[in-house]
Each structure stands twice: as C-alpha cells, then as structure tokens.
Amino acid sequence: MRLAYAASPNLILFASFIAQDLTTMTNSFFPPIRTLMGPGPSDVSPRVLGALGRPTIGHLDPLFVTLMDEIKGLLQYVFQTENALTLPVSAPGSAGMEACFVNLVSPGDTVIVCQNGVFGGRMKENVERCAATAIMVQDEWGQPVDPEKVREAFKSNPKASLLAFVHAETSTGTRSDAETLCAIARENGALSIVDTVTSLGGIELKVDDWGADAVYSGSQKCLSCVPGISPVTFSPRAVERIQNRTHKVQSWFLDMQLVMGYWGGDSKRAYHHTAPVNDLYALHESLVMLQEEGLESAFQRHRRNHEALVAGLEAMGLAMAVSPEWRLPQLNSVLIPEGIDDASVRSSLLNDFNLEIGAGLGALAGRTWRIGLMGYASNTANVIACLSALEAVLAGQGYSLPTGAGIDAARQQLAA
Amino acid sequence: MRLAYAASPNLILFASFIAQDLTTMTNSFFPPIRTLMGPGPSDVSPRVLGALGRPTIGHLDPLFVTLMDEIKGLLQYVFQTENALTLPVSAPGSAGMEACFVNLVSPGDTVIVCQNGVFGGRMKENVERCAATAIMVQDEWGQPVDPEKVREAFKSNPKASLLAFVHAETSTGTRSDAETLCAIARENGALSIVDTVTSLGGIELKVDDWGADAVYSGSQKCLSCVPGISPVTFSPRAVERIQNRTHKVQSWFLDMQLVMGYWGGDSKRAYHHTAPVNDLYALHESLVMLQEEGLESAFQRHRRNHEALVAGLEAMGLAMAVSPEWRLPQLNSVLIPEGIDDASVRSSLLNDFNLEIGAGLGALAGRTWRIGLMGYASNTANVIACLSALEAVLAGQGYSLPTGAGIDAARQQLAA
C-alpha cells in the first residue's frame, strides 16, 4: 500500500486506498546547479527564482492586475518606448515572433525578410504560413544584415509592406544595425518587425527613437528570467494596421485585439486566456532588478565582461567568429580550433564543470561555440570560471596553450 | 546614487554608476496567500512551488531531456493513453486548444462543434480561423451536450471530418458524456477533439478506451500546477491525419510535426523553441504527486469533497445550477440567491477571507458562482473554510440562514 498525497489535508481519508498499480513510479526531479553560459536560458538570479516560487493567486485578482500594469511599465522602460501595446506574450519567444507576423501580415502581402542566421529562416516560415510572399535578403552567417541589399530589395519590391530582421542573431552572435534598417523600412512606407530576443537588456535598443514597429523578445536571455515568456511591443502605426485588418488574425491565442482586451487599458479586463501567473512574478522581479541597475549600467556590465572574455580567449589562442564591430557582448561566437572535438569539449564542460556553453547552430554547427554572458550570468566570476574550465578541457584534448594565460589576460582587461 | 544589481558579483564594478533617472521605481511583488477555489488556477502545493523555484538548467541539457521523457510518461498515465504523441504544449490551455485545431483542420473542412458554454464558442473561432466551416450543435448552458443532436448533425453533414466538444465545461460546471460523443465521431468516420482542461485529474478520462483523438488540457486546474502549460495527446489516427496534410499547419509554433522533433522519439532532439524549463519542473512534480496518490484515489477525493460542499450549500438554502448526474465535482456552480449582490460577495470573500471563488461567465454572469475544488485545493479544510466564509458574508448581506448549518451538513456528509 502506498501512502497517498502526502501533502494533502485529506491524507487520512485516502491512506487506506491502494494506489493504482503502476509499472514505474517516477521520483521528484532535482536539477544539478549549472552555470548557464550558452545562448539561453541564462543563469537566473535567486531573487527571480524566489519570486517564481511565491504562492499563486488568481489571474483576475485585483492585485494581479496591478502586477500586470507594473510589468507593462517596466517593459516600456527596457524597450525604451511609450507604446501602449507593450506586454508579455504568455509563451516563448517563438510565439512572440509569430504574434508579430500573424497580426501584421495578411494573405497576399509581400514581406522583405533578412536572413543572416537561423532566425531569419524562421521568419520566412512565418510569412509563408500567413499566405504571404517572403522576399529574402541573404547575408553570410556571422555577418550583419547589409542595409544596401535591403534598399535594393525595396526597389525591386515597392509593394513590400513589411521588413523583418533580427537585431541580435542568437545563432551567430552578430548584431545588425537596427536603427538604419528601421529607417529604410519607414522610407519605403513599410513597417518593421524586429527580433530582439537576444538584445533586450544586453545592448542598446531604442524602440521609439529607432521607429521599430513590432518588436519581440524572450525572457530567458539578457533579462535572466526563466524561459517561457515573450515581451512584445507594437508602435501606434502597427496598432493601426492591426485595427484596419480585413482578414481575421489566423491565431486566436495570439490575436492582439483579443490580448489587448485582457492586458489593456482602463476598462474592465476581458478574460482571454489564463496568464502564467508565477512566470509573471518572475518576469516582474527580473525587470525590477534591471530597473534598479539601470539600463546603461547593464549595457556597460555586458560590454566589460565581454571584453574580458575575449581578451582571455584570444590569449588562449582562440579566434572570435564575428568582427569586433558586430560582436554581441552577450553572446560570443568562438571558432573551434582544428583537431578539437566540439561535442566532447561541451560535454566535458557540462559534466566535469557544470558549465553549459552553446554549440554552433545551422551552418555553424561544429564550427563555433557560443559563450553567453547574458543578464545575471554576465559577471566576472563566470568569465574567469569559463576560461579556467575551457583551458583545462582543451589541454586534456592536447591543445597547446600557456597555463593561466586566458585568466591573466581577462584580469588585466578587467583592471584596465 | 543607487546601488546596482545587488545580487551580482559585479557589484563593485558598477556601484559607481548612477542609475538612469526614472520617474517611478517599481518594487518587488509579494502576493497575498489566497485560497483558490475559483475555476482555476487552483491552489498549488508547496511541493510544486518548491520544484518551480529550483535552479534553471539548459533546455537541451541531457538531464532535462530525461525530465521531458518522464513528463511524457506521466501524462500518458493521467490521460490513460499509450499515444506516443503526448506532451505539454509550452503555453496555456487556449494554445493547446489551438494546437489541436490547426493541426487537424485544413481549409475547406467541415467541423461539428458542440456548444454548451463559453469554450464551444472559442472552438468555433478556431475552426473559422482555419478557413473551415463550423456546424454548431447548441445546448443550453448548464446542460450536457445532447448526443442525439450530434447524431443529427452528422446525418445533415456527412462530410464532417471532426467533432469537437468540451468534456467538462469550465464556464458552467457541466460534464458531458465524452465516451458516447467520441463513439459517435468514430461511427461517422470523423476524429474527435476533446477539451479536458477542467476534467484531467479530477474525473474519469480514458483517452484510449473512449477513442478520443486529440485531447488538450491545462496545468492549472485539477493538476494543481501553475498556469501556463497545456498537456495534449494525439491518437495514431490523429497523427496519421497530421502526417497526410497537404496544407502546412498555419502556426509554426504549434506545428506538431516540428514540436514532435523537439519532444519526440529516439533520435536526437531538434531545436524548435526553448521549453519553459521551470514550469516543466513544476508540472513534473504535480504529476508525480498525482501518480503517488493514484488516479482513482484522486477522483474519489474530488467526489467526496464535492458531496460535502453540496450538502453544506444546500443546508444553507442555496441551490446548485447543474443537475446531479452532470455536475463536475471539481467545479460547483451555485445559483446566486435573489437579492444578493454577486460582486460584493466575491469581493468580500477575497478581501476579508483571502478566498477566491469564480464569477459566472457569459450567459451565466451574475447568475452563478463557480466554486472550485480542484486538485490540491480539493480538501476538507477548504470545504469547511468556504462554507464558513460564505455563511458570514451572506449573513452580512441580510441573507437569512441558520448559523453553522452548512458546516454541520458538510461534516455529516464527510462522516457518512
């Protein structure tokens, strides 16, 4: 006989029942303590984990509605926008991307999509599933989007109503010039959809100043919240296009006119879906922390730790995959040296050092590692720990490097 | 000067920066301790909240992949199915509903949709946004779906390829005969889509025995997990229809062929989206608890507490809104007595007793309360606390009732 539901006040009533005969009983799961220096999720602060585990309240509770309002205000701050339609989609970044496309694209539209990594390809999928045409602007993986090519694409496709691009390509660690690209869209009478999944909170992002129209991000990168939530913001021009749609948004769950009724405005909230209450506690706390630090300070911290990591890696003889101007401080792509086995290095870092770094993705699989220094994980302790572990693992694979060179160079850079 | 990022090892580096000047600084959020006896979210066990707050690991970490496999197995148990395609969608129940529709409906299809509450109407929206036709079978709110009407609908629409209905209508607290309805679908060569958001874990649900084809649920009802996750399961017949689609699924995020590559099978996991790691810790723990108790014991616990609550409510002179045969033990619809102010009762329960019960929804707004006894919240302490608080609040509104009658009746019922 198995004791049933140990935590329930009803224990006594049910202890006499015999639990269903199960072939396998599953135990509780206790994760190891990893240091997350991959492409996300990044290390989550104990403050955020603490907020996450607080008691659940109802999603229509007046106190929860207050929390929702605060989250909107905090997101406006980190997006640097006054957009009223600024909120967290109740699903991961992929759903945030889809929310931007299904609300702004109608069947028959032409959308210019820039691809210089994995996520441009995903944007193309989104456009085509909206029964629209994607005009692809291709750049090499690891290079930024070339604004000249985008101008050419608009010349060849004057009816294009949208430009979509990735601000910070997670698959390659490359920044593109979002300000210029948004301006090109506006000059051509088009709206812009900007993927800021990896940029938000890590590098400068000025939604209003740059005139970006639909912007989505993720909770698990430089916000250092748990994964599962996608902050989005829509400009008044984007809202106008949504309101003037003649074709219903194909997703009920992501229809911003319905979501607005739940998240929005002064009037009574209309039930749409049940918000992920505890995830929003966590998002709120991560945004409060970012507000406490200040955006500019956070950017400088990311920059400083990035420079230390790069100094260390280069002192170890490793080469960065992206040119300095376009490197993301929060996601560092490193070329894997000749003769080094990608998978066994990552596996040894994980198993022997509890350190996660990322593999290359798509065209860069097996050719790069991606070392994240995102949000809470962007700190000097992680820089030093990573260099130290990498040195040990590479040495174990016969890679020749002077002992301690990486750490010394990083410390010198930090002291500079 | 504001001290930046107190929890960061980088504190010293950044304490000298002056944080951006902000008009309003937002503080951390500390929720009150509520007792959640509405239509969901329900009370979350401390065990589940503890699991939720454990340190985040990477979503491609081999240990996380093990957790994913365990969750699939546990979901098969609670759904009572051997369906291989059984997994939690990384978004709320509304997205689980949409996942079933966008994967099984193609443009031009005819779908019979049963409506006896709010959620049948949402199904219609989903069908129409898939460019298909919804044939509505209407029943009164608070009544079960009438199988005869469904048979008639199939006679009038022999080409209908799907039947969609709600097993446990959250808006009314009404059960429908899912077994019979699934059989009618099969007899007519159609697949069934079944909403089990409120039934899973609370009342009998036998996906395989009943031959249900696409079934979705929510984490925040009788599983007593935090809101934000939607368990789904697809029968081999449903999988076959998905694989034979000629029209791409309109949602990239919810495309089960892609999701399967991430969650599925023996081969290497293909990155699709970033799973909500911590939410899945919590879901896993809630399922482990349900497995420990055993499904049958959980159903009996729900039944027993329901009977006690009903005995108490009736002793207080209140009337149930749904006939005994079709009542959901986990969600009790009560008629609001004449002269009693709906909103002020609920508000007093919330503010004075930290007790949340649900309002009526749609056609039943202002006419019923919905008292949940779901999952972890289905316990005798909650039954007694709810009757006691309701007695006090109703008496305060001048409702005449004998003191303690509700509690006495509930205790007698529990002792029976």
Binned at pLDDT 50, 70 and 90, residue B362 comes out as confident
Cβ-Cβ contacts under 8 Å, B40 against chain A: 274
Listed by number, the residues of chain A in 295-324 with a beta carbon closer than 8 Å to a beta carbon of chain B are 295-298, 300-301, 304-305
Look up residue A365 and give its two tokens. Answer: 């699989």
Q: Is the pLDDT of residue B292 over 80?
A: yes
Q: Are A374 and B8 contacting, i.e. CB atoms less than 8 angstroms apart?
A: no
- Interface touch B52/A6, C-beta < 8 Å: no
Quickly list H helices, A233-341. Answer: 236-243, 256-263, 277-293, 295-315
Residue B385 is predicted with a pLDDT of 98
Q: Which residue has the tokens 């339609």?
A: A85
Q: Choose the closest CB to B2 out of A34, A129, A292.
A: A292
Contacts for A63 with CB less than 8 Å, ≥ 6 apart: A57, B31, B32
Binned at pLDDT 50, 70 and 90, residue A159 comes out as very high
Distance from CA of B294 to the nearest CA of A (A): 5
Residue of B227, B225, B229 whose CA lies nearest to B377? B225
Distance from CA of B381 to the nearest CA of A (A): 7
Cβ-Cβ contacts under 8 Å, A46 against chain B: 7
Cβ-Cβ contacts under 8 Å, A25 against chain B: 291-292
Which H/E stretch holds residue A370? strand A368-372
List of E strands, A8-80: 35-37
Amino acid, res. A73? G
Residue B20 dihedral angles phi and psi, to the nearest 5°: -50, 140
Residue of B354, B416, B346 whose CA lies nearest to B382? B354
Residue B19 is predicted with a pLDDT of 34
Residue B266 is predicted with a pLDDT of 58
- Interface touch A52/B278, C-beta < 8 Å: yes
Distance from CA of A159 to the nearest CA of B (A): 24
Which H/E stretch holds residue B138? strand B133-138
Looking at CATH, the fold of the domain delimited by A46-291 is given as Aspartate Aminotransferase; domain 2 (3.40.640)
Q: Is the pLDDT of residue A180 over 80?
A: yes
Q: Which residue has the tokens 């430009």?
A: A163
A366 touches chain B (CB under 8 A): no
Residue A169 dihedral angles phi and psi, to the nearest 5°: -70, 110
Q: Is the pLDDT of residue A14 over 60?
A: no
The answer to whether the annotation marks B301 as part of a ligand binding site is no
Interface test with A, best of B78, B94, B262 (most A CBs within 10 A): B94
Strand partners, B214: B193, B234
Residue of B175, B172, B153, B176 whose CA lies nearest to B163? B153
Residue of B197, B90, B365, B185 whose CA lies nearest to A92? B90
Residue A4 is predicted with a pLDDT of 34
Residue B265 is predicted with a pLDDT of 62
Strand partners, A320: A334
CA B280 – CA B274 distance, rounded (Å): 12
Average pLDDT of chain B is 93
CA B319 – CA B65 distance, rounded (Å): 49
Q: Is the pLDDT of residue A7 over 80?
A: no
Q: Which ipTM score applies to this complex?
A: 0.93
Q: How many CA atoms lie within 13 A of A196 on its CB side?
A: 31
Residue A50 is predicted with a pLDDT of 98
Residue B103 is predicted with a pLDDT of 98
DSSP assigned state of A111: E
Choose between B14 and A155: higher pLDDT.
A155
CA B263 – CA B260 distance, rounded (Å): 5
Q: Is the pLDDT of residue B139 over 90?
A: yes
Residue of A200, A235, A239, A193 whose CA lies nearest to A217? A200
pLDDT tens-place string over residues A366-392: 999 999 999 999 999 999 999 999 999
Q: Are A393 and A303 contacting, i.e. CB atoms less than 8 angstroms apart?
A: no
Q: Are A137 and A113 contacting, i.e. CB atoms less than 8 angstroms apart?
A: yes
CA A392 – CA A369 distance, rounded (Å): 16
CA A201 – CA A216 distance, rounded (Å): 13
Pick the CATH number of A294-415 from 3.40.50.300, 3.50.50.60, 3.90.1150.10, 3.40.50.2000: 3.90.1150.10
CA B350 – CA A127 distance, rounded (Å): 46
Domain residue ranges of chain B, discontinuous segments joined by +: 46-291, 294-415
Q: Is the pLDDT of residue B8 over 50?
A: no
Distance from CA of A132 to the nearest CA of B (A): 12
Q: How long a stretch of residues is chain A?
A: 416
CA A386 – CA A383 distance, rounded (Å): 5
Cβ-Cβ contacts under 8 Å, B361 against chain A: 271
Residue B170 is predicted with a pLDDT of 95
Residue A2 is predicted with a pLDDT of 35
Cβ-Cβ contacts under 8 Å, B276 against chain A: 92, 226-228, 276, 279
Residue of B159, B121, B161 whose CA lies nearest to B137? B121
pLDDT tens-place string over residues B19-62: 333 457 999 999 999 999 999 999 999 999 999 999 999 999 99
Rg from Cα positions in chain A: 23
Residue A293 is predicted with a pLDDT of 97
CA B226 – CA B20 distance, rounded (Å): 35
Residue A8 is predicted with a pLDDT of 36
CA B116 – CA B110 distance, rounded (Å): 19
DSSP assigned state of B327: B
List of E strands, B203-328: 214-216, 230-234
For residue A62, cis peptide bond before it (omega within 30 degrees of 0): no
pLDDT tens-place string over residues B82-119: 999 999 999 999 999 999 999 999 999 999 999 999 99
B13 touches chain A (CB under 8 A): yes
Q: How long a stretch of residues is chain B?
A: 416
pLDDT tens-place string over residues A84-134: 999 999 999 999 999 999 999 999 999 999 999 999 999 999 999 999 999
